[in-house]
Structures are given as structure tokens and as C-alpha cells.
Amino acid sequence: MDNNLKDLLKKNAIYYTLVPSVLVINDPGEIIALENYYPNNNDEELNLSIALSIGSNRLNSKCWISTKIDNATDGSKPLYHSPYNEFKHNGVTYYPYSINTSSYRILGILNLCDGLYKFVKEANR
């Protein structure tokens, strides 16, 4: 994993693990799981874990969230995408989603995760 990304996660006290490739089939990227993620505003309302596929210096469109949300009609929201397959890691079940990562560089990972957190929080209301 990129050292700048490691430093960013460490600086923000984000606990992460690498997901073994045998758990996620057909993904050429490296999968990291951010366990018990919450935004910097210390909103610990949700117990949410997020796994992301990282390619060479970019975030791939695959992600997995520890909460299953039905597809939204708004195309800007993450879409449940069963072909990516769900998996279980460290006792957490991750459900597959497709997300638009075109505006995020690898070091924008926390902004992306904040948006995913907000999506799940709003969907659970």
C-alpha cells in the first residue's frame, strides 16, 4: 500500500486492515477495510465498516459497506452491485457497491468515506 495513504490513515487514527485477495474474487486492486469508520466530526452514530479497492494511485469503483442498502434512484449514490460479491472479513460482512470515484485521488479516501457514511446514515432514517 502507498506510504502516503498509510500516513494519512495513521494521522487520522483510522484503523484499517488489508483484505486477503482470496476473499474478494476478480479484483485486481488491493482491498483495504476501514473498520468502525466515522467522520472527523466524531459522529459515532453508526457502526460502519468500509472496504475499498485501490489500484495504482487511484480508487477503483468497487467498494463494500457493512450495511446493505437498497438501490437509490439517484445515480450519484452508491449502487448495490451483486457481481462484486459480498465477503466476510474480521467478523464483518461487507456488501458490494459500485461508486463513482472519478473525482477522488487516493489521498481523497477520507472524503469518499465521509460521503459513504452520510449515504448510509440518510438511508437508515
User: How many CB atoms are located within 10 Å of the residue 8 CB?
Assistant: 16
| Grid coordinates given for 124 | 437508515
d(CA 5, CA 12): 11
- Residue that wins the pLDDT comparison between 49 and 72: 49
Question: Cα–Cα distance between 97 and 85 in angstroms, integer?
Answer: 9
Q: Shortest CA distance to 19 belongs to which of 77, 102, 68, 84? A: 84
The separation between the first and the last C-alpha atoms of the chain, rounded to the nearest angstrom, is: 35
Angle of CA points 40, 84, 88, to nearest 5°: 65
Per-residue pLDDT band at 101 (split at 50, 70, 90): confident
Higher per-residue confidence, 26 vs 13: 13
Give the pLDDT mean for 7-13. Answer: 92
What pLDDT sits at residue 41?
63
Query: The pTM is what?
Result: 0.91
**Confidence grade of residue 46 (pLDDT, cut at 50, 70, 90):** confident
Check whether 42 has a pLDDT greater than 70: no
Q: Are the beta carbons of 53 and 34 closer than 8 angstroms?
A: no
